[in-house]
A and B are shown apart, each in its own frame.
Chain A
Amino acid sequence: MQRADYVICKAFFALVTLVVVIVFNFFLFRILPGDPLRALIQNARMDKEAQERIRTQFGLDKVVWLDVDALKKGDVAGAFDTQFTAYVSNLLQGNLGISFAMRQPVSEILAKRVWRTVILLTAGQIMAIVLGISLGLLAAWRRGTRLDTGILLTGLFTWSIPTFFFGIILVIVARGHLPVGMMVTPGLKPEDGWPYWSDVGRHLVLPTITLGVGYLSSYMMVMRSSVVEVLSEDYILTAKAKGMSTVQILRDHAMKNAMLPMITVIALTLGYTVGGAIQVETVFSWPGIGRLIYDAVGKQDFPVLQGTFLLIAISVIAANLVADLLYSVLDPRVKLD
């Protein structure tokens, strides 16, 4: 029963965060000086009917969030008949608005492009986690040696390179050897089967390296300090006294204990993960939602910006929740209260 309470508590917090994000998202775009939606409506090239449609859909003829006059008249239902309510009800129906630039529903655009970003993020994270953990473990085990110093310095150095700049360097260096733009060579389609996927794979190499190296350093440094902490604990001495070899101790005692903080770190850096993806997709013209944001910023396509931000925020909140729950399952010491 304790676990159920814990889950509910964490889920509740995630929900509250989500609500705040939604409200914030709404108001941010409404306090614009020179509301772009109105600018869109007043676009002379749009015919009257289209203007009316957009007007009603977004409730632009209504009050922003609470109709005080209606409330004073005792019309409670009318008081809430506002832009904000329209926004929320649209949201719940999956309607994120229409893109200014592409004239398509934002949700459709997102649906088409999301999976590309997911592929990229997954590949990059796997590389970062695997390399980060291995190097961190190695550095901690050989603490104080030149190998340790070397690994640490490499970590600090990669931390100092902005992700996008590292991408640019790779583009300059690898041009001609590996594809540096887009996801797939024009002409190939998913129905082509293996040739398509292997081509995607080749296009995935540089962006993945860029992303992977970017997160590598934080994972590596956390793993290192986590292992260092673990290796100073009494139970490691017990294991040694029992006659276990170094490799056995690392494998059976150190790893599991040291990995627990890693879950927390991965969850915490999820937010930065997305930031990295935006940069990488921009540099490599990878057609995911990161590149979408970049284009939307350039074209001031606010519905797309708003919708994409919401999608990202929801994903990160959900991922954090999953990480929290996972941690509570894996660490038997966690008090479920």
Chain B
Amino acid sequence: MFLLDVRNLSVDYMTDDGTALHAVDDVSFTLEKGRSLGMVGESGCGKTTAMLGVLRLLPAEGRIVRGDVLFEGTDLFALSENEMRAYRWKHLSLVFQGAMNALNPVRRVGDQIAEAIRLHESGINIKARVRDLLQLVGITPDMARQYPHQYSGGMRQRAMIAMALACSPEVLIADEPTTALDVMVQAQILELLQNLQREFGLSIVLVTHDLGVVAEICDDVLVMYGGKVAEYGTVDVIYNDPQHPYTQRLLQAFPDVDNPAITLTSIAGYPPPLDALPPGCRFEPRCTCASEVCATKSPRLIQIAPGHFVACHKLRSTPYGA
């Protein structure tokens, strides 16, 4: 049984005039205990929305229009709001990007961590646990009495991670945890996450646009484009044998430490606006190897090798199960 099994998740945003924007369309992935997943894609491709959807934390305009999310077999979408609350943080916790305002500025950091503990656990020494958590992420326990604005950016991010671990969840969803931090701090955070994976067997879902970070931390990669899954496979396969044109271009745009002389190429154009999605494949307008069918028909996600899934028309005629 999977730790987390997301099946055909589709999320729409309702606009003022009643139209629905398809922000996430038919996204599926699985997460096993001890393995970590990287969700990659450009800003606005729907990765954050998908994860907010998993936890039923969408904003007022969000609608989950299709799909199931099974956590250790339980359908999270079939639960009442009360029941769902018991799952949040205790089993699946969240670290937001830009923790600037993710912590309440007028309450002490230690209090906010303690609050998380009190919500889900009882009979433990909260103060001691808070100190332990802060120490775990490399923050002096005395800092618990300070306010968020007294922390540096990196410290705030680490405090958020400490808070996310307060109830020993099985899954940690980290949304762009290293964006907007300088390189040194990024490295610290990454190291911390790796330690957590090793020591606690924590499964991390890392939402990011930074391929370098994914390579360090994750075992599997889900590449998203325009709200849909473009490619899905292990880190090895995605980085060494990418099949989707978008994945390939993404990797080309990424500096290779072994080959620093190669010119970096960017992908021309912009991601599709949600209110004017292309009728066929969403990447078609920017794809260099698009054919006629790409403009009219949206490609399905196909397994082209054991554990390697791609949604692209040019792979329809692969020998594997064609």
In-complex A–B contact (CB below 8 Å): yes
Give A residues with C-beta under 8 Å from B.
233-235, 237-245, 252-253, 256-257, 260, 330-333
Q: How far is the CB of B179 from chain A (nearest CB, A)?
A: 14
Chain B neighbourhood of A260, CB < 8 A:
106
Chain B neighbourhood of A332, CB < 8 A:
105-106, 147, 149
Give B residues with C-beta under 8 Å from A.
55, 57, 82, 85-90, 93-94, 96, 98, 100-107, 115-116, 119-120, 147, 149, 163
Select from chain A the residue with minimum beta-carbon distance to B146.
Answer: A332
Q: How far is the CB of A153 from chain B (nearest CB, A)?
A: 21
Q: Do B105 and A333 touch (CB < 8 A)? A: yes
Q: Do A242 and B106 touch (CB < 8 A)? A: no
Q: Which of B89, B106, B119 contacts A257 (CB 8 A)?
A: B106
Chain A neighbourhood of B115, CB < 8 A:
242, 244, 252
Q: Do B57 and A237 touch (CB < 8 A)? A: yes
Select from chain A the residue with minimum beta-carbon distance to B81.
Answer: A245
Chain B neighbourhood of A242, CB < 8 A:
88-89, 93, 115-116, 119, 163
Chain A neighbourhood of B90, CB < 8 A:
243
Q: Do A241 and B106 touch (CB < 8 A)? A: no
Select from chain A the residue with minimum beta-carbon distance to B92.
Answer: A241
Q: Do B147 and A235 touch (CB < 8 A)? A: no
Q: List 7 A-B contacts (CB under 8 A).
A: A234-B102, A235-B102, A235-B103, A237-B57, A237-B96, A243-B90, A332-B149
Q: Do A235 and B119 touch (CB < 8 A)? A: no
Q: A243-B85, A245-B85 are in contact. Are A238 and B106 (CB under 8 A)?
A: no
Q: Do A257 and B85 touch (CB < 8 A)? A: no
Q: Which of B82, B93, B104, B120 contacts A241 (CB 8 A)?
A: B93
Select from chain A the residue with minimum beta-carbon distance to B101.
Answer: A234
Q: How far is the CB of A135 from chain B (nearest CB, A)?
A: 21
Q: Do B101 and A243 touch (CB < 8 A)? A: no
Complex CA gap A247/B291 in Å reads 55
Chain B neighbourhood of A253, CB < 8 A:
104, 107
Q: Do B89 and A241 touch (CB < 8 A)? A: yes
Q: Do A331 and B106 touch (CB < 8 A)? A: yes
Taking A243-B89, A257-B104 as given, write out 18 further A-B residue pairs in contact, using a Cβ cutoff of 8 Å, ordered by the A residue number.
A233-B101, A234-B96, A234-B101, A235-B104, A235-B105, A238-B94, A241-B89, A242-B88, A242-B89, A242-B163, A243-B85, A243-B86, A245-B82, A245-B85, A252-B115, A331-B106, A332-B149, A333-B106
